[in-house]
Structure 1
Amino acid sequence: MLVRTSAVCARPPAGMLSALAGGQIFSSEFRYRRGEEVFGEGEEAQYVYQILSGAARTYKLLPDGCRQINSFHLSGDMFGLENGASHRFTADAVVETNVSIMKRVSLLDAMTRYRTGPGSLLSLVTRNLVHAETHMLLLGRKTALEKVAAFLLEMDERLTHPAVLTLPMSRRDIADYLGVALETVSRTLSILKDEGLLQFYGPTQRRVVLLDREGLARLEAQG
């Protein structure tokens, strides 16, 4: 589904999109409001997306009505590049999000014509596979403490170890990513805080200071 909100401008694609395309084709920049759908499961996969700011999530709605989040896409991440003709997941914006969008056919055509394309594509695929593998291992953790510790360390790594870890996603999002109840996430974060492994910064509790990364890593390793 192409964006229904504001198109900012057409410009040479930034970052990884530029590398993949050899800097030779144009992309458009769009802004999505919080919760707005980027594309739906089963829709034709016409476009490739790169996060310029904000965050997106891809997910499936299960037969019982529950939502399983497959991945969070953060600044610089690409998504929507399918190996089939249609999207396997639904994607929407976690917060107000700016993305760079390029037609998939144009991107694939450019990669066949420019020497930088294949190597960059391999880098992209590897990066997405690492995220998928990390999520699979995370879901296999035995306890909620292990899952939440692993999630915090994953976000810390992807956001390059900031002094204050700002999580764009809600606790409900985290629960649907980890495959646990919302109450379990809240209780587990409180336990980690009480044990001196983290503290919350500000009223929203989405800004987290990791006080003891080694302690979190020990919890993660228990799985």
Structure 2
Amino acid sequence: MAHPQIVTRQEPKQAVARASAMLEGLFDLRAVTVKAEPGETIAAEGEEVETIYRVISGTVRCCGYTGGGQRQIFRFCGPGSFLGAVDQDRWRATVEATDCVILSAVPRCRLDEAIARSPRLCRALFALMTDELRHREAHLVTLSHLPAHERLRVFLTRFVAERRAPGFVALPMTRQDIADHLGLTIETVSRSFGTLKRHGVIEMRGAGKVRIADQTSRVPA
């Protein structure tokens, strides 16, 4: 059985690029630099959005927790990502540092003032919100229809493509992070890495660096 075709996330690039450029204008010399250590909470779900952030370096995870403490990671955001810009009054997810993270921060009121002056900025934020919804829909399809090793294949392919780096790419997240993102156990994630390596889909350098070797390789169900 052939594996599903993997399509890396193709945003309406021009709209997203314009939106990012407009938001970057808010992060001028008056922005504050914030550092977060691995596992540190940057913003908690349900808290009032008082600050918006732009990721300068490192990776953050956007996640939710059940009443029993179970975690679901919705998305990993790397350099250039904006946090809090498309949330309304309160954070829709908890934002945590996956590794050592540096962010640029400005008060949310500056964004609100800019929106009042610029209808174009409203359209730009809508483009970013649409992109985020598109990402979540694609992730739901992955969780609903693919076996474990294909979920991991899709995740790694998208992550490597977003990093736009040749050769081996460092994975800043733990195996548990990946498990909580893909709806799997950590044991299943480890087995799936082994499956993809055996079939030549990926190459690993240690436990923390990966290269997509063959996107077309078939893995038996």
| Same fold (TM > 0.5) | yes
1:143-192 Cα offsets, whole Å, 9 max, x none, are 10121111111112211253212211111000000011000000000011
User: Once the two structures are aligned, what percentage of the paired residues are identical?
Assistant: 30
Local SS of the residue matching 2:145: coil
Distance 1:163 1:122 in 2: 34
1:211 equivalent in structure 2: 213
Distance 2:119 2:68 in 1: 47
2:154 equivalent in structure 1: 150
Match of residue 192, structure 2, among 188, 195, 212 = 188
Distance 2:202 2:76 in 1: 22
RMSD: 2.4
2:52 equivalent in structure 1: 48
Identify if the C-alpha distance between structure 1 residues 23 and 88 changes in structure 2 by more than 3 Å, giving closer, same or farther. Answer: closer
1:19 equivalent in structure 2: 22
Distance 2:178 2:169 in 1: 14
Confirm whether residue 39 of structure 1 aligns to residue 43 of structure 2: yes
Identify if the C-alpha distance between structure 1 residues 108 and 162 changes in structure 2 by more than 3 Å, giving closer, same or farther. Answer: farther
Contact 1:54/1:74, CA 8 A, preserved across alignment? yes
- Number of residues paired by the alignment? 202
Identify if the C-alpha distance between structure 1 residues 83 and 77 changes in structure 2 by more than 3 Å, giving closer, same or farther. Answer: closer
TM norm structure 1: 0.81
Identify if the C-alpha distance between structure 1 residues 22 and 79 changes in structure 2 by more than 3 Å, giving closer, same or farther. Answer: closer
Confirm whether residue 173 of structure 1 aligns to residue 177 of structure 2: yes
Local SS of the residue matching 2:197: helix
Distance 1:172 1:197 in 2: 21
Comparing 41-50 with 129-138, which one deviates more in the overlay?
A: 129-138
Distance 1:24 1:32 in 2: 18
Distance 2:38 2:161 in 1: 24
1:4 equivalent in structure 2: none
TM norm structure 2: 0.81
Distance 2:170 2:81 in 1: 17
Distance 2:62 2:123 in 1: 25
Deviation of 1:81 after TM superposition, in Å, equals 2.9
Local SS of the residue matching 1:172: helix
Identify if the C-alpha distance between structure 1 residues 111 and 82 changes in structure 2 by more than 3 Å, giving closer, same or farther. Answer: closer
Contact 1:69/1:173, CA 8 A, preserved across alignment? yes
Q: Which amino acid aligns with 2:62?
A: T
Deviation of 1:90 after TM superposition, in Å, equals 1.3
